[in-house]
Each structure stands twice: as structure tokens, then as C-alpha cells.
């Protein structure tokens, strides 16, 4: 199969961007970033990334394998609780407030659907490109561009931050190849026969179609253990896995960066969008072993998660079994760093993120706190194998981390908000120096009552064990101690607060305002006069936030 696609890779390189990477005799590591879509914090059968709150229904043995053999983070975050801004932050290494990023929401900052909550008092500013399209600006220096010509770089899967015009497509933003990445997500998971061949459809683009043919008997035996999939339509999760392996096979010794962005477990999650063997498996499991956590309410979620977990297993197997042509006598796994995350919290209900409060779309922990696992057979420190790190980290840290590990300088003038995690990975440190904290800023409205979303302009930050929120409509703060109250049930600024709490609130609110000023963060606009909402006033001693 791999030889079969060689000509397609050559064509894809010429048509979609060109394989600009140069052969190198150096020992630069390979990078694979695997991003799940809408996978909740507790929607896995491993507990290393979530303090043991593993699912009693989902089955993700290969994520557990990564955790058992790698380094897990249980205080990992993404920059936003939604798809596009989360992805843009990773690719740019910048917060959404930065002008080179400027993506803070999906679609727009004024997403109000059938509002039956209190009337909005503010509206969001224009984001993204000048016309409001939420795509990375052409002038931004993406991670793919920063890695330079020494690496061959492929985007595989969902893109969602470019594609409406040539200048924002993946191959105009540093990637040499793009397989399956377009401006939107998918509307259907299976390939269909149309226009004389098997295709996944325009939402996924024709670049993934070479992997769209029905399952062979051999593929079915590997994936399902029987021949029940033979001749049936190909699921996009399986196509992404095969595409990734074929891509690695064709690199002929060049260091690579693969941005593997899964479409799963994003809706649609009905039976018609799940691999039939996996749907049947979890439907039967629901009858025999119902979930006490409520994780069996939507069979499609565990079915889709199990599917992409298989993809991860196939990739890890390939890395462990394949010789590294740049390092004779060693396997690819010894010089490849694999990082797994989700783009935001689980959706539909907070139970998929339990015990965290909130879900996708919210700046609460359930919307932005995600699983993160780092795996390699040669790049981790000895004490980093089957280990858990509790330092607060963010997806924006991966940009400087990859550059640091590849010994590549950040381009001059390119401001990065992330911090390198190299010392955490190789075992030289347990902490990240980030005295300013981690920030989130949402200057708009996301109101979707059927998903219990009633999000108004908000800024949030985490510093140490504490998380502070500022709500612009109410002009009020909330403060939580996440170590003692991971579910954010007790606002420390309600009622009488002690000296220590007041000191922490004062310090954090001052840092929050300073960050908003330093980044010139876009602010929500008041409907009453069209002026930007005023910056939060730092809390003083004894002043209440609620």
C-alpha cells in the first residue's frame, strides 16, 4: 500500500506546497502532535492525566499505554474551550489576544442562538482576518514555519484555522503536505462513492481520498479481529492513521513534524457515523455493564474514542517496529516525541469532564483543562517514564518546546507566550517558570441554551493552585483553590475572606490587568455606548469580588 501512494506524495508535495525539507545528518527529533476533538477530561480508561477519574465505560488502552510508558500531565490546559482558537494557539504559540493569532472563538464572538437567558449587555469585536473569518493570519509565523527547511512537515486531519483562501491554507502556513485539512470540521465520518471514486467529501478535502477505499480483508482483521469490515466504507479515523504511517514511511530519513488532528469525537456521533463493530461493542456493553458515571448515554462517544485510540496504537507500533535510517541500530520510537492532547473539554454534559465544572465552550476547568501525555522510547528522562507531572502547562508551550528540543532558534521578533517544557521532559526540572500565570480571554458571547452555554465576556487566569475569573457584565471576580476544590464549588471571594485570600486575589487581579494591558487584548463593546468595556479594577485588601 505504501509504494502505491509514493506518486501521490510526490504530487501532493508539488501541488500542495512542496517538500522543502532538506536531508540532514543531524539527530534532530521527530515530532507527532495528536489532537483529539472534544474528548473530555475523564473520557478515557486511564487515570494518569485526571487524578484517577478514569471512565468506567470508555476504552482507550493505547492512551493508557502512552501514560504507562510516558509522562502524563494532570494540570494541562488549552488556550480556549473551543476548536479553532485552541488550534490557533498551538500553531502560533500565542494567546488569542495577540494580533498575529487573533482567534478567540469559533465562527464569531457574537454567537447567540435562541437566548432565553438575561439580555446581553455587550458584543464581541471582530476577530481573525479583517472580514472576521477565524483563520490564522498569513503574516503569523506558525510552528511549521519556525521549524524551517530541516524538517518535512505534514498536517493530517482537521485544520479549522485556514482554508477560505490560498494564503491561509496549511501549505501556505509552513506545512509541506496537507492531508484532509480544510476550514471546517466534518459532517460525515465515512467515505462515499461519488464522482467515479471513493471520497470523504469537501469538508475533509480530496487530499485524504487516496485512503478512502473500502476496508480490505487484511485491514478488517487488524482493526476488528474478523472480516466483518471487509468491503465496507472507510472511517476517516482509520484513514488518518494509515495516511500518517504511509507518510512516515516515505520520508527516507528526514526529520518530520506531523500535526495529526483527529475529527473524533466531535459530532455527529450517531450510529451512522461510527464504525459498525465498535458501535455494536459498546451497545452490548451498555446492556451488560452500564456506566455508573453516565458515560453510556451516547454510545457514539466511546465508539469514536475507541476508533482513534486504535489509530494511536498503530502509530506507536510502527514507531517501535521501524528502523530509524538516521540512527542505525535504533528504532524510530527512540528519536520521536509523541504528544497527545484534546482541543477542549468534552461536550453535551459536564459528566464527561467530571469532577471538573463545565464543558466545551466554558472557561471553567471542564472547558479548558485537558488530558496531555508525552511519549517516546528515548527522549524522556528515566524518571519520566510512567510518571505524572503536576505543573500547570499549556498547549502554547509545545511551540517553544519543539524548537528547543530541535535546537532551532525562534525567529527574530516572534513573540511566544508559551514556555519550553524540555526540562520537564528530560527530567532536569519538575516545574515551569511562569511567574505571570496562564491566561484566557473571551470578549464575546456564546449562548446556546440547549447545551447550557450562557457565556459572556470573561477573563480568567491560573497562578499556582488558584484560578481567578473576571466577569465584565457583572464587574465581579471569582476565586477558587483548585487543589482543594477541583470542581470550583466554593468561590473564596463570597462572604468574609481571610487575609491570605485577599492577598492572593489582589496579586492575581493586578497580574490579570497587567496582562490585558501588555497584550492590548481586544475588549467586548458595550451596547449602551459602543465603547470598549473597561479593564478590570484590581482587588484591594478587604474588597469583595462577588
Is 201 part of a structural domain of the chain?
A: yes
Burial of 118 (0-12, 13-18, 19+ CB in 10 A): exposed
Q: Identify the helix (H) or strand (E) that includes residue 372.
A: strand 369-375
Is 76 part of a structural domain of the chain?
A: yes
Can you state the angle between helices 300-321 and 276-288, rounded to 10 degrees?
120
Task: Give residue-wise pLDDT tens across range 266-324.
Answer: 999 999 999 999 999 999 999 999 999 999 999 999 999 999 999 999 999 999 999 99
Answer for the pair 343, 83: CB distance below 8 angstroms, yes or no: yes
Is 460 part of a structural domain of the chain?
A: no
CATH of the domain at 161: 3.40.720.10
Whole-number pLDDT of residue 42: 98
pTM of the full structure:
0.95
Is 399 part of a structural domain of the chain?
A: yes
- Work out how many domains the chain is built from and give that number: 1
Is 526 part of a structural domain of the chain?
A: no
Task: Give residue-wise pLDDT tens across range 376-408.
Answer: 999 999 999 999 999 999 999 999 999 999 999
DSSP string, 13-80: HHHHT---PPP--S-PPEEEEEEESS--TT-SS--TTTTT---SS---HHHHHHHHHSEEEEEEE-SS
Which residue, among 73, 149, 151, has the nearest Cα to 326 in the 3D structure?
A: 151
Q: In b/e form, how buried is each residue of 194-230, taking b as 16+ CB within 10 angstroms?
A: eeeebbbbeebbebbbbbbbbbeeebbeebbeeebbe
Is 530 part of a structural domain of the chain?
A: no
CA distance 150 to 76: 29
Is 23 part of a structural domain of the chain?
A: yes
Whole-number pLDDT of residue 545: 60
Whole-number pLDDT of residue 546: 56
Is 77 part of a structural domain of the chain?
A: yes
Instruction: Identify the segments of the chain with pLDDT beneath 50.
Output: 1-4, 6, 10-11, 13-16, 20-25, 541-542
Domain extent for 380:
3-113+132-433
Strands 30-36 and 336-342: parallel
Amino acid at each position: 500500500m505504501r509504494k502505491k501512494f509514493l506518486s501521490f506524495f510526490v504530487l501532493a508535495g508539488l501541488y500542495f506546497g512542496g517538500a522543502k525539507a532538506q536531508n540532514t545528518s543531524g539527530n534532530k527529533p521527530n515530532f507527532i502532535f495528536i489532537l483529539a476533538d472534544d474528548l473530555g477530561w475523564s473520557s478515557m480508561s486511564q487515570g494518569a492525566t485526571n487524578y484517577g477519574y478514569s471512565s468506567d465505560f470508555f476504552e482507550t488502552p493505547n492512551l493508557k499505554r502512552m501514560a504507562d510508558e510516558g509522562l502524563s500531565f494532570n494540570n494541562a490546559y488549552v488556550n480556549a474551550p473551543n476548536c479553532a482558537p485552541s488550534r490557533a494557539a498551538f500553531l502560533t504559540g500565542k494567546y488569542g489576544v495577540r494580533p498575529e493569532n487573533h482567534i478567540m472563538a469559533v465562527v464569531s464572538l457574537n454567537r447567540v442562538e435562541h437566548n432565553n437567558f438575561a439580555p446581553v449587555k455587550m458584543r464581541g469585536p471582530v476577530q481573525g482576518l479583517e472580514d472576521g473569518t477565524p483563520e490564522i493570519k498569513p503574516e503569523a509565523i506558525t510552528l511549521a514555519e519556525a521549524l524551517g527547511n530541516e524538517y518535512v512537515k505534514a498536517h493530517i486531519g482537521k485544520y479549522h484555522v485556514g482554508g477560505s483562501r490560498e494564503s491561509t491554507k496549511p501549505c501556505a502556513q509552513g506545512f509541506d503536505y496537507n492531508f484532509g485539512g480544510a476550514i471546517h470540521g466534518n459532517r460525515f465520518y465515512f467515505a462515499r462513492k461519488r464522482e467515479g471514486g471513493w471520497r470523504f467529501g469537501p469538508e475533509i478535502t480530496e487530499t485524504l481520498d487516496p485512503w478512502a477505499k473500502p476496508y480490505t480483508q487484511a485491514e478488517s482483521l487488524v482493526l476488528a479481529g474478523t472480516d466483518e469490515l471487509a468491503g465496507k466504507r472507510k472511517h476517516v479515523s482509520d484513514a488518518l492513521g494509515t495516511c500518517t504511517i504511509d507518510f512516515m514511511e516515505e520520508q527516507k530519513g528526514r526529520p518530520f513534524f506531523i500535526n495529526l488532528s483527529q475529527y473524533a469525537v466531535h459530532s455527529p456521533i450517531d450510529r451512522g457515523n461510527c464504525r459498525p463493530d465498535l458501535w455494536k461493542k459498546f451497545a452490548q456493553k451498555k446492556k451488560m455493564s452500564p456506566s455508573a458515571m453516565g458515560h453510556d448515554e451516547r454510545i457514539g462517544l466511546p465508539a469514536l474514542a475507541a476508533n482513534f485510540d486504535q489509530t494511536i496504537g498503530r502509530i506507536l507500533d510502527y514507531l517501535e517496529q521501524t528502523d530509524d535510517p538516521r540512527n542505525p541500530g535504533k528504532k524510530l520510537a527512540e528519536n520521536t516525541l509523541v504528544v497527545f492532547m484534546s482541543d477542549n473539554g468534552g461536550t453535551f454534559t459536564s459528566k464527561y469532564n467530571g469532577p471538573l465544572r463545565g464543558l466545551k465552550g466554558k472557561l471553567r476547568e471542564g472547558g479548558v483543562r485537558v488530558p496531555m501525555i508525552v511519549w517516546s522510547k528515548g527522549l524522556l528522562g528515566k524518571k519520566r517514564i510512567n510518571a505524572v507531572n503536576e505543573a500547570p502547562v499549556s498547549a502554547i508551550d509545545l511551540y517553544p518546546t519543539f524548537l528547543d528540543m530541535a535546537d532551532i532558534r525562534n525567529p527574530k521578533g516572534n513573540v511566544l507566550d508559551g514556555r519550553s517544557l524540555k526540562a520537564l521532559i528530560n527530567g532536569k526540572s519538575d516545574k515551569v517558570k511562569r511567574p505571570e500565570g496562564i491566561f484566557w480571554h473571551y470578549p464575546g458571547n456564546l449562548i446556546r441554551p440547549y447545551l447550557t452555554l450562557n457565556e459572556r465576556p470573561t477573563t480568567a487566569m491560573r497562578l499556582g493552585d488558584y484560578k481567578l475569573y473576571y466577569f465584565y457584565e457583572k464587574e465581579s471576580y471569582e476565586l477558587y483553590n483548585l487543589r482543594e476544590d477541583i470542581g470550583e464549588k466554593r468561590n473564596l471571594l463570597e462572604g468574609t475572606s481571610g487575609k491570605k485570600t485577599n492577598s492572593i486575589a489582589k496579586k492575581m487581579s493586578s497580574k490579570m490587568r497587567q496582562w490585558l494591558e501588555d497584550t492590548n487584548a481586544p475588549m467586548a463593546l458595550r451596547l449602551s455606548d459602543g465603547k470598549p468595556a473597561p479593564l478590570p479594577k484590581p482587588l484591594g485588601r478587604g474588597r469583595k469580588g462577588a
